[in-house]
Each structure stands twice: as structure tokens, then as C-alpha cells.
A and B are shown apart, each in its own frame.
Chain A
Amino acid sequence: MYPDNLRYTKEHEWVRVESGTGTIGITDHAQHELGDIVYVDLPKIGATIDQGKTIGSVESVKAVSDIYSPVSGEVVEINEMLTQSPEKLNEDPHGAAWLVKVRLTSPEEIKSLMSAADYQTYIGA
């Protein structure tokens, strides 16, 4: 369920790092708890983001939740598909429904995040 090549936050985001770029999303646990997602608010390309700070929000029929960035960096790409099809976040949160891609400024931050095994223990899965 939780891929080993992702790192996880206590706020239920994940990041996958490939050659200096981090892809950020929310976890399957997060989408399950939120319920049907109806709107996703993402930062602008070029925005500077800091680890642990809000970069946007996810709205479900139940609640609006902030998205906290697992890493610091500059936003280089956002997932436009989610504007038209927010339901993809319920269907494929660890894959096609990634949120933003970030050029990392502090790659060592990754070490502060949880492994897949630790995250599953954390959520009691």
C-alpha cells in the first residue's frame, strides 16, 4: 500500500526524490480520512516553499485540510489534471494524482521524514 521509494510526514504527505527534484502528494490514508475530494488548491509555479509550511489545501465534502510541504524548494510543476478531476486524488494518491514537483534546496531534509514502514506504524495500519 505505501511504496518504499516515498518518504512520509506526520501530516500525511509524501515526497519522492529523483535527481534533485521532489514530487509531493498526500497519502492514501489522508485521502481515505478526507473522503470524496472536490477541490485542490495548489501553489504557483516558481513559488518558494519551506518544509513544514502550508503550500495549499485539499477540500473534501467533509473538511478543508492544509497541505504541508515535506521539503523546502521551488515549485517547478503542478498537477493541472487535479483542477478538472480532483477525484483522482481518491483513486491514485501515490501515483497519477501527485500535487507538485519541487526543485529541492535542502535535500538533507529527506532524512527527517518517515520510511514507509515507519509511516504504517504511525497510522496504525
Chain B
Amino acid sequence: MPGKTRQHISQNEPLLFEISSPGKRGYQLPDLDVPQVDPAEALGAANARQEIEHFPEVSELEIIRHFTRLSTWNYAIDLGMFPLGSCTMKYNPRVNEQVARTEGLLWAHPYQPASVSQGAMEIMSQLESALAEITGMDAVTLEPAAGAHGELTGVLLIRALLEHRGKARKKIIIPDSAHGTNPATAAMVGYSVTNLKSNAEGTIDLAELARLVDDETAALMVTNPNTVGIFEKDIVKATEIMHSKGALVYMDGANMNALVGLARPGDFGIDVMHLNLHKTFSTPHGGGGPGSGAVAVKKHLEPFLPVPRLKRVKDMFEFDYDRPLSIGKVRAFYGNYGVLIRALAYIMAHGGPGLRVATLDALLNANYIRKGLENHYDMPFTSPSMHECVFSHDRQEAKGVRTGDIAKRLIDYGFHPYTVSFPMIVHGAIMIEPTETEGKQELDLFIQAMIDIANEIDTSPKLVLDAPHCTRTPRVDEVGAARKPVLRWKP
């Protein structure tokens, strides 16, 4: 096995239901010192049950061991590189966790009156300002719960503005290099989707865009850099084409990790965008969530932002619900608050110059991987890479090995797989985003692993086709799981 991994003992662990033993307890309650109440009498017989069927009964140590053993089966950013492209799986610095657990914040409750929530509200205000500065936009809402929710909020804002101007219009143009959630968002807001094909460089085809825009076009939804990791160099011209027809431009900020401190969407003509705080601003991500899909807008969209808006009156923060043009609430309370604290901690720990360095490191890492692998894997779009690079499996497919097989083999080398088969405009996509998190040592191990796998495909393709070999379970039957899913555990 390669240098990064070796086998070690991993314990099997049944389900809690299977180790349950009647009467076992993981807690001890003090003696009852108040009069006993009959639940059936207090709640009504229909609401009181005698027992919770199949509720597992285990000791404290059994449950500690249960979850600790399960945790050792996992792969996480704290164990190694997570090269999932388009996902920005960066490290969540421990200081974020420490700050989010500050006692006054940990126990704050959204029903507390504003007069005793001023500190919590100031954090939101500072984060709104920081995100507006980073994006070059005029106003920010922190309410949306994650990326696709931010998209939905953003397109609802576009619709509200156009309705206010007199006509909602009918369609939204989306490049085929955009994020997969974009067309779903447009459809949810009631727009039809027009697909814009990329040109040979993998970017927006301006002539085709100009041909598609008409008086019924509400917006262009663009991801920049796009999902091939290429900066849309004609973005200013594209926004001018849209604006000249009275249409708006939405930017999916999923790839904002390539731009923070270098370029501001507000400066290149974007009207509204979302940020994935759980990607770009390092809060936990993927199983460790929740996310946050803050939305930033230019002035003309500000009246439509969700309520409540944070407002400063003299020295006090207030929540302003008197916003007649607002699209209303998009989420209970004020967003995923714990995520907001972590994002602000990340921004403040870096400062402006630090954020810029982080971005440059992310670009450097992606291009270091590109250079290291370009002689071993095909790259269909050769425009300069930003924060991620996308190869294709074309050369390996000649030996019968596809991108999914290479990803499985990568697990044996101690890495999480890269993003497989996306974006769709690249045949057999191998999409890699290292982020600034990784140092040269881990990047070199990753590059060597990918080169070793390319060599294995040349000499013994079956080794890769049957991978993974070193995991707890061999290759799982994904097809069987999808065709005949078993969704319930039965005793």
C-alpha cells in the first residue's frame, strides 16, 4: 500500500436495536420529590402510551462505544484531503467552534427581546457588512438556510422586482456550466429554463446569449467561476446584454472561494447572488452542517429582501418588519445563527489581506494539481483554472475504467473521492478542488496517488475496476440499492 495508508483494526458494531437489553439504563434519576401524576389523566388517554416500542436500552459505556466505533468508520476533513470539486470542503478552524460556544451566544434564544439580544444582533450586522464589502453589493440577508435556499430567495427577489415594474416575465437563461440546482430554482419560482450552451473555451457564448435574450427574459443565472473552474472573462459584457433588455443577473456564489479578496461580483454587474457560508467561510459542511445561504443584492432589490431587516436606531439594533415590498419570511427566526457566528469568526480571524491570501492559496493549490496531473489525464477545457480543475476519463476509458472506478480506487490511497461525472459538459468528469486548506505534502500525496492509479489502469485495470480493496466493505452495489432500496430495519 502507498505511504499514506496502512491497515489497522476496525471494530464491527451492530445497531443499537440489536444490542438492546431490557432494563439497561444510561442514566440515573433522583427520587421523585413531587406528587406523581397519571399521564393518562393529565394528557388524555389517547396521548399517553405505556411504552415506546423497540426503544433501545443500553448502558452509558455501550452507547459511548457505539458512536465512537461508528466514528472510526468515517472519513473527514480532519483525517485528510477532501477533493470534492465545487463543494469547497475546507477546514473549519477550531477557533470558530470556540467562538460559537461563547456562553452568551450558546444560550441566546430567538424569543428574547431585542433589548437583551444586542450583542447577537451586532454580530449579524457586522457579518452583513463584511459580506457586502466582500461581494461589492449593497445589502445582505442572512436568513436563507443553505445554498439552494439562497438561490430560491434570490430568484424570488428578481420576480418581486419585475412584478413591481409591471411584468414578472417568463424565462431564465442558464449556461450548461452552471450549478445543477439553478434550473430547479428557476422552475420553483415559476420560470421556464433556457439552456445556454458553452463555447469551446468552456465559457458563456456572448453571441448566443444575445440571441436568446428577449422581453420575456427575467434573468441570467450564472456561476462564476463556472463549474469547469473557469472565470467567465466576458461577464461584464454578459451583464450588459442582460441589463440592456431589462433583465437581471443572478450569480451562484458556490465558487466564491476563487474570488474573495480578488474580484467583487458587485463590480462586474451582478444584481443578486448567494454565498455558501458553509463553503467559502469555512463553517462545517456535509453531514456536519447546517449551512447558510446568505443573499447579497444591489440597491434596487433591497426593498424586497425577506423580513425582518436588521435596523440601527440610535445606538440600538431593532428588527424591522414594516417592509411593504418584502417577499416575506423565508425561514423561521433569523437564519442558522450558529453558522453565522462561525463565518464572522473566520472573516475576522483572517482580515481583508488574510482572506486574499487564502484565495490565492486555493488557486495555487488547484493549479499545482492541474500541472501535476496534466500528463496523466485528459483535460477538455484548457482555459486557465481558478480554484478547481476538471479532467476527463477519456484516456482511461480506453482500458474500460471510468471516473467512478478511479474515485473508488482513490479511497484505498486514503483520500475522499473527487467529484464524479459532474459537470455534465465534461465527458466522464474528474473534478478536483483542494481549497487553500491543503499544504504541499498532502497535495503531493494526492497527485502521486492519482498518477499511481493511472499507471495501474495501464498495467492491471482490474485492480481499479474492483476497488476499493482496503475498506471495511468492498464496493457497494449502488445500482441494487437504487433499484431495490431497503428503507426499513426489521427486527
Chain A residues with CB under 8 Å of chain B are 36, 38-39, 59, 61-63, 86-87
Contact = CB atoms under 8 A, between A and B. Distances in A.
Interface string B9-36: 0000000000000000000000000000
Contacts of A36: 478-479, 482
Contact of A63 (B421, B482, B483): B421
B424 A86 contact: no
A38 B421 contact: no
A60 to B, nearest CB: 8
A63 B479 CA distance: 12
A31 B424 CA distance: 15
B482 A38 contact: yes
A86 B421 contact: no
A63 B478 contact: no
A62 B403 CA distance: 11
Interface in B455-491: 478-479, 482-483
A38 B483 contact: yes
Contact of B478 (A39, A59, A61): A61
Given A36-B478, A38-B483, 18 more contacts: A36-B479, A36-B482, A38-B479, A38-B482, A39-B482, A39-B483, A59-B482, A61-B478, A61-B479, A61-B482, A62-B404, A62-B420, A62-B421, A63-B421, A63-B424, A86-B483, A87-B479, A87-B483
A6 B478 CA distance: 33
A21 B86 CA distance: 45
Contacts of A86: 483
Contacts of A59: 482
Contacts of A61: 478-479, 482
The 6 closest A-B pairs by CB, nearest first: A38-B482, A36-B479, A38-B483, A61-B478, A62-B421, A61-B479
Chain B interface size, as a band, is under 10
A79 to B, nearest CB: 17
Of B404, B420, B478, B479, most buried by chain A (CB within 10 Å of CB) is B479
Nearest to B421: A62
Nearest to B180: A63
A111 to B, nearest CB: 24
B393 to A, nearest CB: 12
A87 B421 CA distance: 20
B148 to A, nearest CB: 16
A87 B484 CA distance: 12
A88 B421 CA distance: 23
Of A59, A62, A63, A86, most buried by chain B (CB within 10 Å of CB) is A62
Nearest to A65: B424
Contacts of B421: 62-63
Interface string B403-444: 010000000000000001100100000000000000000000
A62 B482 CA distance: 11
Nearest to B403: A62
A61 B420 CA distance: 11
A36 B420 CA distance: 15
20 contacts: A36-B478, A36-B479, A36-B482, A38-B479, A38-B482, A38-B483, A39-B482, A39-B483, A59-B482, A61-B478, A61-B479, A61-B482, A62-B404, A62-B420, A62-B421, A63-B421, A63-B424, A86-B483, A87-B479, A87-B483
A11 to B, nearest CB: 11
Contacts of B483: 38-39, 86-87
A27 to B, nearest CB: 16
A87 B479 CA distance: 9
A39 B481 CA distance: 12
A38 B483 CA distance: 5
A39 B483 CA distance: 7
A125 B411 CA distance: 33
A38 B484 CA distance: 9
Contacts of B404: 62
Nearest to A59: B482
Contacts of A39: 482-483
A92 B483 CA distance: 18
Contacts of B478: 36, 61
A92 to B, nearest CB: 17
